[in-house]
Structure 1
Amino acid sequence: MKLRSLLFVPGDRPERFSKASASGADAIIIDLEDSVALDRKVLAREATAEYLSGDRPVLVFVRVNPQDSQLTHDDLASVLPFLPDGIVLPKAEGARSINWLRAEAAAVADNPDGEAPPILPIATETPGAVFDLGSLREVAPWLAGVSWGAEDLPAAVGAATSREPDGSYTAPYELARSLTLFAAHAAGVAAIDTVFPNISDADALDGYVARAARDGFTGMLAIHPSQVPNINKGFTPSEQQLAHARAVVDAFAENPGAGVLQLDGKMIDAPHLKAALSILARV
């Protein structure tokens, strides 16, 4: 499942679903949570189910409401019969939240052995969730990836903001971002960076994406179709990166059993080979 870009679209705006699907995003996330007012939840569920029942040009995930909302069961009952490609779970708190969602999905299907679609938890939206990130490796087979949020967490602890004036994260939220990155890789699933809220600053977005890809994230959430091309480009290895990765792989193939080699005047070893193989796997 290629997940460079995942574009949110409000569930109560079905006229936007096709446009979102045509944006070039690897997946769209039809949102039943924050972008939908309480009195429009039923409308959003019905519109989402109708869209899922038709042809889908891209992967379609659905963000359900969180566990404490008392809305998740009805969300799942509306969309699971149409087999979405994944479920986004907000305010997830580690493995126990994933197991709870799988149990809810089984109850909706009236099948104790029923399986939920792959789950993408937003894994840092409560203070406790930060301490539960490591447990996600216990439920790795049921994950599509791991992402994080930089808005709900500061609100939960009474912080004024999660960002510095230049747009970078303050220390507590940089920590949450880093822990999410490591939790995803520990589970062996996609590491999905959070949204970039300034949709009018393409240069700043490019810088954000470049930093995320540099740090080890493999994709990113988007909130506007205009962000998708920049995100896709940033998470697609360049020709220079691919050429170097192939050179590393070829060097080890030509020297079986070697632990350390020299390439272009630099020493390379097993971690360089692993990184090269990871880059090639992305294309």
Structure 2
Amino acid sequence: MKEAPLTWLYAPGDRPSIVAKALLAGADAVIIDLEDAVGPDRKEYARSATAELLSEPPPLPVHVRVNALDGPLAEADLRAIAHLPGVFGLRLPKVTCPADVVRVAERSAPADGGAPVLHALIESAIGLEHAFAIATAHPALHGLSIGEADLRADLGVRDDAGLDWARARVVVAARAAGLAPPAQSVYPDIRDLDGLRASCAHGRTLGFLGRAAIHPRQLPAIEQAYLPTPQEIEHAEQIVKAATTEAGALALPDGTFVDKAVVEGARRVLDLAGRRG
């Protein structure tokens, strides 16, 4: 399974000063957005400003969300952005089929290697139906997640719980493809940190790992929600200790028996805890 960032921070590509602040805000990765966050009359400027910024490697991984693949702007985005030294990855919006991923992967691969990693956003019913095929479309694809606003509109879903089946399906598709667990979609109300925490807790129960943010103030809540608690770490340590000292069936001090899958899960908990020292 490929490790992915825990916190992602979006920044609009037509606001270089905001992007500069985002790079210092404490996220694991920054996403420069050329799509939804940029108005039609600012697309060209956003592209050129992003290309200038990423002409040199930034201090942390930067992904660029290009414009919709079925529109006229995506090709110009890829031509200007894909091969820059500061681009770690490309986020592909509104992916509907494996061919979308393959086309971008082939378009983005330079002759000498070093192509950016790709991340597909599932934002429609047809994309959801093809989730596993998309996840396995090309080795350059390292991540899968949901664009919930667009998917909600496409499905006609009003209640948040109506997206849970779609969320779970994308989690399963990513895991089956050997990808890291998906990060949650953005939480749009930057003032409602309690709601964000509750939403992250729910996402964690569905198998998500980490989340995209639209404001730096959301980052601590996301990190806290997704890092293991002291109790979870202690329990994982007990399981791993038992696995290294016993053969066959493993029994914890409380009498609980655990198997190989539980041990592997405990090791993942400790690995995740180690990501923040």
Counterpart residue type for residue 26 of structure 2: G
Equivalent residue, structure 2, for 1:128? 126
Moved more, 28-37 or 271-280: 271-280
**Where do 1:19-98 residues align within 5 Å?**
19-83=21-85, 84-98=87-101
The aligned length equals 269
| Compared CA separation, residues 4 and 163, structure 1 to 2 (3 A) | farther
Q: Name structure 1 gaps, 5 residues minimum.
A: none
Match of 2:176 among 171, 181, 186: 186
Equivalent residue, structure 2, for 1:233? 224
The SS at the match of 2:221 is helix
| Compared CA separation, residues 137 and 91, structure 1 to 2 (3 A) | closer
1:180 positional shift: 0.8
Counterpart residue type for residue 173 of structure 2: A
**Structure 2 CA distance for aligned equivalents of residues 141 and 264 of structure 1:** 44
Is 1:150 the counterpart of 2:148? The answer is: yes
**Structure 1 CA distance for aligned equivalents of residues 245 and 250 of structure 2:** 12
Query: Residue deviations 1:5-63, cap 9 Å, x none?
Result: 11111100111012111211111100011111222111101111121123512210000
| Compared CA separation, residues 223 and 55, structure 1 to 2 (3 A) | same
| Compared CA separation, residues 41 and 235, structure 1 to 2 (3 A) | same
Query: Residue deviations 1:225-272, cap 9 Å, x none?
Result: 11111111212222221221121011011013x134244232212221
**Structure 1 CA distance for aligned equivalents of residues 106 and 83 of structure 2:** 16
**Structure 2 CA distance for aligned equivalents of residues 132 and 155 of structure 1:** 18
1:215 positional shift: 2.5
TM-score by length of 2: 0.90
Is 1:221 the counterpart of 2:212? The answer is: yes
The SS at the match of 2:132 is helix
**Structure 2 CA distance for aligned equivalents of residues 276 and 8 of structure 1:** 31
**Structure 2 CA distance for aligned equivalents of residues 47 and 263 of structure 1:** 58
Is 1:169 the counterpart of 2:169? The answer is: no
Equivalent residue, structure 1, for 2:13? 11
Is 1:251 the counterpart of 2:249? The answer is: no
Q: Name structure 2 gaps, 5 residues minimum.
A: none
Query: Is contact 1:194-1:220 (8 Å) kept?
Result: yes
TM-score by length of 1: 0.88
Q: Name the % identity.
A: 35
Query: Is contact 1:248-1:276 (8 Å) kept?
Result: yes
1:93 positional shift: 2.2
Equivalent residue, structure 2, for 1:206? 197
Query: Is contact 1:140-1:187 (8 Å) kept?
Result: no
Match of 2:104 among 101, 105, 108: 101
1:176 positional shift: 1.1
**Structure 2 CA distance for aligned equivalents of residues 61 and 252 of structure 1:** 39
Moved more, 177-186 or 133-142: 133-142
**Structure 2 CA distance for aligned equivalents of residues 216 and 202 of structure 1:** 21
RMSD: 1.9
Query: Is contact 1:94-1:134 (8 Å) kept?
Result: no
